[in-house]
């Protein structure tokens, strides 16, 4: 079994996707040109040149990460690579929708642009952020969050459970800062504030969720042509309508990536290909699923090795 995995926000950087446009100009370049027309600004230029501050703006970040992922998908398929199952981490689930034929890439581009706009609005209204915690079990993280909520009355919640001893918390800045201070001084855990604006996958995104659910109704979600794993439940989606319902709640629900890894193991996946910028998901696979081969689209030798070995 072979899996295509798609990364989420936080993997963006200036220059991402450029080598794919150089290696596969006839396939990839038209995507960027059309995306610029759809969005009404030059996503191509921002990905090539930055500045990084603008690339981190969510209405730019989310289309940029998606388009890099989709361009890698197009290049991979042109070489004959086809997945047996697909999954995406948070924003990456939208790339997986395109890979599974649930929506066209143009529809997904519009969705992630709107998603980024709505999340940016919350970011302007709420002083919030996210932090990764390494070295604590999910039970320890949940207890620490509960204690900070009790002590401060502020929001701090588990946003992502990525590995058995790695989780991401999301919430109001003061609560996140207090949580990080406590766990790093009272335990051996390490903490890193993430380069993601706003408190994603927390109840603070409630106002964005309501508007996004309304926007989702404009699109016809088709049944996946390739098995597609939900990042919220780690189960295979059964229908397009189920996907639409879950995406409507995704912004306020936890990403259960550790359970997605367990589902890949249950399906006997032996190779994964991370299609998009960065190498975070490949690292999760290497640590959680030893023996599974990993390939990355952000690295040309790895990309070509994956194509050759497919």
| Residue 218: exposure state from Cβ atoms within 10 A (0-12, 13-18, ≥19) | exposed
Phi, psi of 170 (to 5 degrees): -140, 145
| Candidate list 89, 113, 161, 201, residue with the active-site label | 201
| Candidate list 90, 170, 230, 282, residue with the active-site label | 90
Q: How far apart are the first and last CA of the chain?
A: 11
Question: Is 201 considered catalytic here?
Answer: yes
Residues recognised as catalytic: 90, 201
């Amino acid at each position: 079994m072979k899996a295509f995995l798609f990364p989420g926000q936080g993997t963006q950087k200036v220059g991402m996707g450029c080598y794919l446009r150089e290696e596969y100009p006839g396939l990839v370049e038209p995507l960027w040109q059309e995306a610029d027309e759809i969005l009404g600004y030059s996503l191509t230029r921002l990905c090539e040149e930055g500045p990084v501050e603008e690339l981190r703006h969510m209405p730019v970040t989310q289309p940029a990460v998606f388009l890099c992922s989709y361009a890698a998908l197009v290049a991979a398929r042109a070489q004959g690579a086809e997945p047996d199952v697909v999954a995406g981490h948070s924003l990456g689930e939208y790339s997986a929708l395109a890979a599974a034929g649930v929506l066209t890439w143009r529809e997904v581009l519009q969705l992630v642009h709107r998603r980024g706009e709505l999340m940016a609005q919350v970011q302007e209204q709420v002083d919030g952020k996210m932090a990764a915690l390494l070295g604590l079990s999910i039970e320890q993280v949940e207890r620490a969050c509960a204690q900070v909520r009790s002590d401060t009355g502020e929001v701090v919640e588990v946003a992502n459970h990525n590995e058995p001893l790695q989780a991401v918390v999301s919430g109001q800045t003061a609560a996140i800062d207090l949580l990080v201070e406590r766990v790093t001084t009272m335990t051996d855990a390490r903490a890193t504030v993430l380069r993601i604006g706003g408190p994603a996958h927390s109840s603070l995104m409630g106002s964005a969720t309501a508007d996004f659910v309304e926007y989702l109704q404009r699109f016809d979600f088709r049944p996946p042509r390739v098995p597609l794993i939900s990042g919220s439940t780690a189960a295979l989606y059964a229908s397009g309508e189920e996907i639409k319902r879950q995406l409507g709640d995704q912004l306020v629900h936890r990403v259960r990536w550790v359970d997605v890894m367990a589902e890949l193991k249950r399906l006997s996946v032996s190779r994964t290909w991370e299609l998009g910028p960065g190498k975070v998901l490949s690292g999760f696979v290497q640590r959680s699923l030893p023996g599974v081969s990993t390939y990355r689209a952000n690295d040309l030798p790895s990309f070509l090795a994956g194509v050759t070995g497919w």
